[in-house]
Amino acid sequence: MKLTSPVGIVPKIGPKYKKLLENLEIRTVQDLVYHFPFRYEDYSNVKHIRKLLENETATVKGIVESVTNIFTRNGKRLTKVAVSNGTEKIDLIFFNQHYLKTTIKTGHEYTVSGKVGTFDRKLSFISPELEESREVNLNTGRLVPVYPETYGVTSKWLRARINDVVSGEIELEEFLPENTLNKLNLSNFSWALNQIHFPDIEINAQKAKIRFQFEELFLELLKVEKRRVQWESKLKSVVMTVKNTQIDSFIRTLPFKLTNSQEKAINEVLKDQTLEHPMNRLLEGDVGTGKTLVALIAAYNTHLNGFKTLYMAPTEILATQHYETFTRLLSPLGVKIALITGSVKPDGTDFDILIGTHALIYSKEKFKNVELVVIDEQHRFGVEQRGKILEMANDGTVPHLLAMTATPIPRTLALTIYGDLSISVLDTHPNKERKISTKVIPENARDKAYQWIRQRNEPTFIVCPLIEESETPSFENVKAAEAEYALLKKTYFKGIEMGLLHGKMKPKEKEDVIEKFRKGKIKVLVSTPVIEVGIDVPEATVMVIESAERYGLASLHQLRGRVGRGSEKGYCFAFLSTYSRNAYTRLKNLETTDNGIELSEIDMQARGQGDIFGASQHGFKRFKIADMFNVKMLEEAKQEAQQIYPFLDYYPLLKERLTQEAGEYIPNN
Ligand code: ADP
Ligand code: MG
């Protein structure tokens, strides 16, 4: 067995579990052992039965004397397990688990961990963990890891499988440079892997975690080095000129004046196109700051120079929207716009600007003469895609790359992680009066808020609680949205036309729902949180966000940016489902601040406080364990990566690991 082997090679992982584990993105042995616990249950408090105190969490050992199934008078099914150490006795109480009678062996010694409560006025363990005493117990009597789970895969099951691997099935050879480990006082691979799952003491878990956090940043930054070196060495792009006359006259036909920051960004982008070196620029700007227009002008200039553009949006709906915008603005000028989605194929390669989803870049088709690639609403700044773009090179020239994001990223952070990136910022909203009034609504005011919304009877978005952080449509999130939809339909919005939108729907179904919403046939649209980042329904004026405390402020700011985009004022209600003073104070910032970057800085200070979207919403690669706001570690990792990268050949194991990690990001459309 090797770390790179498929996970099915691990004993007791058959086809069924293999499939289930895919839900946790576990495909290889390495994925399994890098499935880190997110907390530990502390069962290390081992006591004598007679010394147990009510309400404490503790562990005892003893022989099971009897297992009795009981039906109580009010119809409950209990199981009472009597455990004794010879002189003292305690009962374990379980509910609705009569099968325990057949699995627990009387006369055997068990270790029991859990909370001490009372039952029948006697101290008892209520629903504790228990397992037969062994030399090493995994589920009791120690710090016990708790993992992200999925349907059919419990932490208990994961503990056993992971333990089999890390405790000997496999050779865990160190692959980080010894020098680096020593210099930064990091623990070695084998020790860290054992201790992060099954720590002897709390500090060991901490120390192990630090090693893996560093490892993740370090590997990422080595990849950055690689891309930087690739991008900077010998890469050539076509040299374009700026077609000022045509561009100016196009801009004059627009029904509005460009904002100053749009003008600046357009100049920066066009200037990049005149260089021999391919552009690698990130355009950052709040929702509604007019990023599309910047890209559109770059694409127009590319066309005027005789070249083609690929424009990629995150979803088919957005691709279609952009297709309409581009067609409206540019086809009168003789520019051929084409759309490619799952359902629409372009007519050959007869286009000047081809619009599609992010999957476009993976298409087998080799598009000739493409010299500008735009990636819209890009969570990863074209990082993974850059490799692909290199492959698209025509006759030795690499297309210019413009990536766009609405996520406010502190500039210094972006520059540390991607040293080779240029950044343009759109920081002015075209529509200055654009105001969204936001209210944080505690649970007890929810009724009133919903009544107000019902009375207004305006197009309303309801964003459901984020149950599971996931970039792909998650089953849990969909379930939550369906439940919310059903509930609201019966209660507050009885008799009002409602729609449901989630990531597991077919593109056609989604389009239908959105179209109905836009036309006013649907008044209330219930949606999962991660869906359709850039959706543009100008008529929508009310946004309800359930369990708002689970999001970062920057994420909430993006969500509320969906409403009040037309002529009407927008309203945002941030519902608080579990009240905490901290959460309330933090959310209150939304009522007073309308600046995305400011909000994201507040997020950074309050990080760790319930931002489920976390890093992925900050536009970075989603780290498994690393904390990218840990500036000190980030800098150390950067320094080490820069020093080691030129000598990578001297570190064969590290090099091998890096090659495996190069696995591509496959978009889900
Ligand atoms: P985003 O940055 O979120 O992608 P869009 O490019 O979709 O924003 O622009 C949002 C809306 O603002 C569009 O309807 C667009 O036509 C309009 N818009 C863009 N630039 C300006 C401007 N300078 N003045 C007024 N409206 C503008
Ligand atoms: Mg956009």
Write the pLDDT tens digit of every residue in 46-84. 999 999 999 999 999 999 999 999 998 888 899 999 999
Mean pLDDT in residue range 518-546: 80
**pLDDT cut 70: percent of the chain above it:** 86
Q: How far apart are CA 184 and CA 637, in angstroms?
A: 10
CATH annotation of 255-274+287-407: 3.40.50.300
The predicted pLDDT at position 617 comes to 43
Report the predicted TM-score, pTM, of the whole model to 2 decimal places.
0.62
The predicted pLDDT at position 530 comes to 59
Query: Residue 159 pLDDT > 80, yes or no?
Result: yes
Protein residue closest via CA to atom 24 of ligand 1: 430
Query: Residue 20 pLDDT > 80, yes or no?
Result: yes
Query: Residue 117 pLDDT > 50, yes or no?
Result: yes
- The encoded tokens of residue 574 equal 């941030």
Residues with Cβ within 8 Å of residue 41, at least 6 apart in sequence: 113, 129, 143, 144, 145, 146
E strand map for 216-317: 280-285, 308-313
Mean pLDDT in residue range 228-249: 87
Query: Residue 609 pLDDT > 50, yes or no?
Result: no
The predicted pLDDT at position 535 comes to 65
Mean pLDDT in residue range 118-126: 93
Topology adopted by domain 436-594 = Rossmann fold (3.40.50)
| 490-523 core/surface letters (b: 16 or more CB in 10 A; e: else) | eebbeeeebbbbbbbbebeebbebbeebbeeebb
Mean pLDDT in residue range 136-147: 93
The predicted pLDDT at position 508 comes to 83
Among 263, 286, 292, residue to substitute to test ligand 1 (most atoms within 8 Å of Cβ): 292
Do 351 and 310 meet the contact criterion of CB atoms below 8 Å apart?
no
pLDDT tens for 312-352 read 988 788 888 899 999 999 999 999 999 987 766 665 568 99
The predicted pLDDT at position 427 comes to 80
Confidence of residue 562 (pLDDT cuts 50, 70, 90): confident
Query: Residue 553 pLDDT > 60, yes or no?
Result: yes
Q: Is 288 in the pocket of ligand 1 (CB under 6 A)?
A: yes
Q: What is the phi/psi pair of residue 477, to 5°?
A: -65, -40
Closest CA to 636 of 279, 216, 49: 216
Q: Is 287 in the pocket of ligand 1 (CB under 6 A)?
A: yes
The predicted pLDDT at position 659 comes to 85
Protein residue closest via CA to atom 9 of ligand 1: 290
Q: Is 137 in the pocket of ligand 1 (CB under 6 A)?
A: no
The predicted pLDDT at position 250 comes to 97
CA 486 to each of CA 173, 325, 448, 476, 494: distance values in angstroms, whole numbers, following the listed order: 53, 35, 20, 16, 10
Among 289, 374, 426, residue to substitute to test ligand 1 (most atoms within 8 Å of Cβ): 289
485/421: higher pLDDT: 485
Q: Is 195 in the pocket of ligand 1 (CB under 6 A)?
A: no
Mean pLDDT in residue range 526-541: 71
Query: Residue 606 pLDDT > 70, yes or no?
Result: no
Using DSSP's 3-state secondary structure scheme, residue 573 falls into strand
- The encoded tokens of residue 572 equal 């945002």
Query: Residue 533 pLDDT > 70, yes or no?
Result: no
Do 503 and 478 meet the contact criterion of CB atoms below 8 Å apart?
yes
86/110: higher pLDDT: 110
The predicted pLDDT at position 234 comes to 66
Identify the helix (H) or strand (E) that includes residue 482.
helix 475-490
Query: Residue 615 pLDDT > 80, yes or no?
Result: no
The predicted pLDDT at position 343 comes to 65
Among 259, 262, 293, residue to substitute to test ligand 1 (most atoms within 8 Å of Cβ): 293
Protein residue closest via CA to atom 4 of ligand 1: 291
Which ligand 1 atom sits closest to the C-alpha of 289?
2
Closest CA to 158 of 39, 41, 35: 35
Identify the helix (H) or strand (E) that includes residue 497.
none
258 C-alpha to center of ligand 1: Å?
Answer: 9
CA 654 to each of CA 1, 7, 418, 625, 646: distance values in angstroms, whole numbers, following the listed order: 19, 22, 21, 19, 13
Cα angle 225, 226, 231; round to 5: 100
Q: Is 251 in the pocket of ligand 1 (CB under 6 A)?
A: no
Confidence of residue 175 (pLDDT cuts 50, 70, 90): very high
Mean pLDDT in residue range 621-628: 73
CATH number assigned to the domain with residue range 45-141, chosen from the 4 options 2.40.50.140, 3.40.640.10, 2.60.40.10, 1.10.287.70: 2.40.50.140
Equal fold, 45-141 vs 255-274+287-407: no
What are the percentages of helix, strand and coil residues in the chain, rounded to 5?
Answer: 40, 20, 40
The predicted pLDDT at position 476 comes to 66
Q: How far apart are CA 100 and CA 548, in angstroms?
A: 41
CA 427 to each of CA 113, 259, 424: distance values in angstroms, whole numbers, following the listed order: 55, 9, 10
E strand map for 317-443: 337-339, 353-357, 370-375, 400-405, 422-426, 436-442
The predicted pLDDT at position 386 comes to 64
Question: Which ligand is nearest the CA of 318, by number?
Answer: 2
- The encoded tokens of residue 600 equal 């994201």
Q: What is the phi/psi pair of residue 424, to 5°?
A: -115, 145
Query: Residue 287 pLDDT > 70, yes or no?
Result: yes
Question: Which ligand is nearest the CA of 293, by number?
Answer: 1
636/169: higher pLDDT: 636
Confidence of residue 588 (pLDDT cuts 50, 70, 90): very high
- The encoded tokens of residue 403 equal 């990536």
The predicted pLDDT at position 484 comes to 85
Q: Is 292 in the pocket of ligand 1 (CB under 6 A)?
A: yes
Q: Where are the domains of the chain?
A: 45-141, 255-274+287-407, 436-594
pLDDT tens for 635-669 read 899 899 999 999 999 999 999 999 887 653 332 22
**pLDDT cut 90: percent of the chain above it:** 51
- pLDDT, averaged across the chain: 85
